[in-house]
Amino acid sequence: MPHHPAPDTLALTRQVLASALRGMALGAALVLLWVGWRFIGGAPADDRPPHVRVSDVTPGAYKWTDAPLPPPGVSAAEAGRYKLLVLRDGAGTAHAFYLPATDGLATVPSGSNALSPGVPCADFAPDFRTQDIACRQSSAGFEFATRHRWALNGQPLTPGVPVLTAAPGGEEAGDWVWPVPGH
């Protein structure tokens, strides 16, 4: 004859199981609420100062990027007229310069101000072999643009050419970091 648990024991087991299931459901609901709250709140605020990643620029390499802040003296509304040239010289030192842009491409600065609208150039870039920054391929009618040259530190190599406008700040932990006013 098989042994069956007493009715009171069976009821007690059911109560314990029901309580355990309610506890697990409550725990799952709390976890979902916590995850949902974090999701609804959005991404955490980035309280770091304005910055651009430069750790991907190896010695003897460069990249063009958008700057998080406009050049000094330029309104935020005009910030899109500029690109940021980030280069790392052979010694590993990072440099960042603002350059005027047209249609998203950097142009050769013209006039006495390096931030004034530039001369069209199909290939404005540093050359680490010749240690300069220059226009390598000018647009038709603008051949004189290939004569404007700068050292990798932004200083002019061509007489009468303005110094390139360096981005304020410097490299910190793989980022070019702009200074925070008042700090």
- The predicted-structure confidence for 148-170, as pLDDT tens digits, reads as follows 899 999 999 999 889 999 999 99
Closest Cα partner for 63 from 16, 96, 110? 96
Q: Which residue has the higher pLDDT, 113 or 28?
A: 113
**159 vs 146, more confident:** 159
pLDDT for the residue 149: 92
- The confidence score (pLDDT) of residue 87 equals 97
Average pLDDT over residues 24-46: 68
What's the DSSP call for residue 134?
A: E
Q: What is the mean pLDDT of residues 45-49?
A: 71
**Token duo for residue 177:** 């970091």
Q: Which single residue is written with the structure tokens 């406008």?
A: 165
Query: What pLDDT, on the 0 to 100 scale, is given for residue 41?
Result: 64
pLDDT at 64: 94
Q: What is the pLDDT of residues 98-130, one digit of tens each?
A: 999 988 788 888 778 888 888 878 788 999 999
Tokens linked to 70: 């406009």
* Residues 83, 99 contacting (CB under 8 angstroms): yes
- Predicted confidence at residue 107, as pLDDT, reads 86
Q: Which helix (H) or strand (E) holds 65?
A: strand 61-65
The pLDDT score that the predictor gives to residue 175 is: 95
Q: How far is CA 28 from the centre of its chain?
A: 38
Compute the distance between CA of residue 49 and CA of residue 36 in angstroms, rounded to an integer: 29
- Which DSSP state fits 12? H
Tell if the pTM clears 0.85, that is, is over it: no
Per-residue pLDDT at 38: 65
Under the banding of pLDDT at 50, 70 and 90, the label for residue 4 is: low
Residue 5 has pLDDT above 60, yes or no: no
Which helix (H) or strand (E) is 38 found in, with range? helix 7-40
pLDDT at 46: 62
Does residue 8 surpass a pLDDT of 60? yes
**Tens digit of each residue's pLDDT (9 = 90 or more) over 55-99:** 999 999 999 999 899 998 899 888 889 999 999 999 999 999 999
